[in-house]
Amino acid sequence: MSKKIIAGNWKQNGTYKSSMSLAERIISSIHEDKHKHEIILFPPSLYLLSIQGLQKKKKVKLGSQNVSAYKNGAYTGEISASMLRDMKIDYCLVGHSERRHVLNETEKILSDKVSRLFENNINIIYCIGETLREYRQKKTKLVLRRQINRLIKSNQEYIKKQPKKIVIAYEPVWAIGTGLVPTLTELASIFNFIRCTIDKEDTKYSSIKVLYGGSVTPDNAASLMETSHMDGLLVGGASLISKKFIDICSTI
């Protein structure tokens, strides 16, 4: 059975001191012999290397919350995919709803970011999800199909060669940071739909994992993970509290 993924997205939170101690507590809670999941932390970029230095043996993987859509050059303030590769960062998030909706990233920007990451051999967690309005209008599947197709079509050559480099995270925008989560019946239907939409494109795409994100807590993690075709969780708020994140990892 392939490994489940538990990812913690710390967003723009914490200080150097609090981030180091959070990472330390999470890393020390992982006992390799019994650890069956792949754990990925997404701290603020400034702290990535210090956190990387905490691990003698690699127990957790590290990811960047963002990457430039451009190759190296005159793009003040940006961090490129080749810099992430240079520093041995394993993963990068693309398409998170905060970047789509607050920072106005377009599909073109997201697809360029995916290309840059493939060029540099970095794994991608690509977020998709409907807004509250789309949910209320019962457009969830329509939106998800469009987002998945755009991702696959725009980077088809890369994805065909290395489908395993892409992980899709379904995060309903209305569930992020709100305490709301879809019902288990809704999730069963949506995960089945996402799986079929991906697999229909190419038989090789069955290796693309699909995560759920949005108000995951230690209390709901185990029941969420009973959803068929759910390969893991992307945790926001609860990943900032070591006990909660460790509990989520151990309940699965």
What residues line the site for ligand PGA (CB under 6 A)?
9, 171, 176-177, 213-216, 234-238
d(CA 70, CA 93): 16
Distance, C-alpha 168 to centroid of its chain: 7
- Determine contact, residues 111/149, Cβ cutoff 8 Å: no
Using the minimum distance from each CB to ligand PGA, give the nearer residue, 128 or 148: 128
Using the minimum distance from each CB to ligand PGA, give the nearer residue, 12 or 76: 12
Percentages helix, strand, coil for the chain, rounded to the nearest 5? 50, 15, 35
- Terminal C-alpha separation, the chain: 14
Q: Least distance from C-beta 71 to ligand PGA, angstroms?
A: 27
Using the minimum distance from each CB to ligand PGA, give the nearer residue, 9 or 140: 9
Looking at 38, 105, 130, 171, which residue is catalytic? 171
Whose structure tokens read 């994140």? Answer: 245
Q: Is 226 a catalytic residue?
A: no
Q: Least distance from C-beta 235 to ligand PGA, angstroms?
A: 5
Q: Least distance from C-beta 203 to ligand PGA, angstroms?
A: 30
Q: Least distance from C-beta 43 to ligand PGA, angstroms?
A: 14
Using the minimum distance from each CB to ligand PGA, give the nearer residue, 65 or 80: 65
Q: Least distance from C-beta 221 to ligand PGA, angstroms?
A: 11
Strand partners, 63: 91
Q: Is 35 a catalytic residue?
A: no
Using the minimum distance from each CB to ligand PGA, give the nearer residue, 23 or 216: 216
Coil, strand, or helix at residue 235? strand
Looking at 96, 98, 105, 130, which residue is catalytic? 96
d(CA 26, CA 4): 17
How many other β-carbons are positioned within 10 Å of the β-carbon of residue 37?
Answer: 17
How many other β-carbons are positioned within 10 Å of the β-carbon of residue 138?
Answer: 9
Sign of dihedral through CA atoms 165, 59, 240, 210? positive
d(CA 103, CA 150): 19
Q: Which residues does the annotation mark as catalytic?
A: 96, 171
